[in-house]
Amino acid sequence: MTELELPIPIPVPMPKFDPAAFLANAGLGRRIVQVASRETFFCQGDLADSVFYLQKGRAKVTVVSASGKEATITLVNAGEFVGQGALAMVPGLRLSTATAITPCTALKIAREEMVRVMHEQPEFSNLFMKFLLTHSMRIQSDLVDQLFNSSEKRLARILLLMAEFGEPGKQDTIIPKISQETLAEMIGTTRSRVSFFMNRFREHGFIDYKDRIHVHRSLLNVILHDQLPADQAE
């Protein structure tokens, strides 16, 4: 009696994890949401149960003090995360509000799914850590800017950041529609001062604006070479 030789099973390789595909599509623990301009992703005091990845659009993150004063603390561009505070060891409440500046498309990822994929997929962990480091460096730059630069120079920097100067192939850029009140909150001054600075920038050819602000590369001179208009406002 001869024994039958069973075929040796060939292991099927697991498909390689693709972070871009994960962030582009809905799936277990994640869904795509549409957020209209001026609508919120989440509000200060909400349960911090998810992280958002912004696929399209622009958003802002604000905080409100106990006295009711609101401040804009950062802008969020496509390709960035918002609400990452939900990943704290002990889940809690949102410390800020995220609001769409333009119509946005975002992937809403449940906290549990975000934690799982970070533990299991090194490629995704590396991508997220890179975002956190870049975000931390931007906040540090914002603090230095707030402490040492005039409000006019801070406004120039915010406009350049919104125009995403430094990106390959970008020369003159139209930024998303944003109110002067929001710009004033971000640089720590009044709306009337922002209006004054914007008019000066336009007069000197740094920007154009009607409904939208068109930022020219010459505005970089205000930041890099301190070439503010001769009649200093401050």
CA–CA distance, 191 with 124 (Å, rounded to integer)? 41
> Would you say residue 234 lies in a domain?
no
Buried b (16+ CB within 10 A) or exposed e, 38-76: eeebbebeeebebbbbbeebbbbbbeeeeeeeeebebbb
* Same domain? 78 vs 112: yes
Domain final residue, candidates 104, 129, 145? 145
* Same domain? 165 vs 106: no
* Same domain? 26 vs 51: yes
φ, ψ of residue 90 to 5 degrees: the values are -110, 110
Q: How many domains does the chain have?
A: 2
The CATH number assigned to the domain holding 191 equals 1.10.10.10
Q: What is the pLDDT of residues 155-187, one digit of tens each?
A: 998 898 888 765 555 555 888 788 888 888 888
> Would you say residue 110 lies in a domain?
yes
Give the angle subtended at the CA of 73 by the CAs of 93 and 143, to the nearest 5°.
Answer: 120
What stretches of 177-219 show up as alpha helix (H) in DSSP?
Answer: 180-187, 191-203
Q: What is the pLDDT of residues 13-67, one digit of tens each?
A: 667 889 999 999 999 999 999 999 999 999 999 999 999 999 999 999 999 988 8
Residue 233 has pLDDT above 50, yes or no: no
* Same domain? 137 vs 154: no
> Would you say residue 233 lies in a domain?
no
CB of 37 closer than 8 Å to CB of 103? yes
pLDDT, position 144: 85
pLDDT, position 36: 96
Residue 149 has pLDDT above 70, yes or no: yes
CB of 3 closer than 8 Å to CB of 80? no
* Same domain? 54 vs 113: yes
Burial (CB < 10 A; 0-12, 13-18, 19+), residue 28, is: exposed
* Same domain? 60 vs 155: no
Residues of the domain holding 66: 19-145
